[in-house]
Structure 1
């Protein structure tokens, strides 16, 4: 099983809107806790994305989908943000 993924992805927001971008994800298996998470860099920033929290899904190529929570957002450049994600359930990669 792969423990990392870096490439194209889409966030599916709670309201059904899609946000395309690039994801960098990994699993963490420390201290008996299994989980996954990482970051997402959207192609464009929308109001829906700024308000995202729970009820979000991350779709990877080949229709692999995992549930995530948006845990943070920070500016990279004037026109880019980096979204922090915490995975819920099995990793889609």
Structure 2
């Protein structure tokens, strides 16, 4: 399993950029290949809460992967944790 944990930028469908922290890993179970993980944005907005598809995740080395949000859950009053599933090549 390959993993990445650190800073990342979520690029919303409209091009808005949201800075935060990502924790990602590859999925290799049987015939299932791919990657998934979580993203915790530094700031939460309505656009972030409504994000679902057409998103990209950019890592510090400028590698970008397409992602979709599978769930968003509150962590604290002002923070959320977004569960992501990767689409396409692994960016880490």
Q: TM-score, normalised by structure 1?
A: 0.96
- C-alpha root-mean-square deviation of aligned residues, in Å? 0.9
In structure 1, the residue matched to 2:81 is 82
In structure 2, the residue matched to 1:64 is 63
Structure 2 residue ranges without an equivalent (≥5): none
Distance 2:14 2:50 in 1: 11
| Deviation of the 1:79 alpha carbon | 1.1
Distance 2:40 2:51 in 1: 14
Task: Determine whether 1:20 maps to 2:28.
Answer: no
Task: Determine whether 1:5 maps to 2:10.
Answer: no
Alignment of 1:19-38 (within 5 A): 19-38=18-37
| Deviation of the 1:62 alpha carbon | 1.4
| Deviation of the 1:69 alpha carbon | 0.1
Structure 1 residue ranges without an equivalent (≥5): none
Instruction: Give the match's secondary structure for 1:27.
Output: strand
Distance 2:49 2:75 in 1: 14
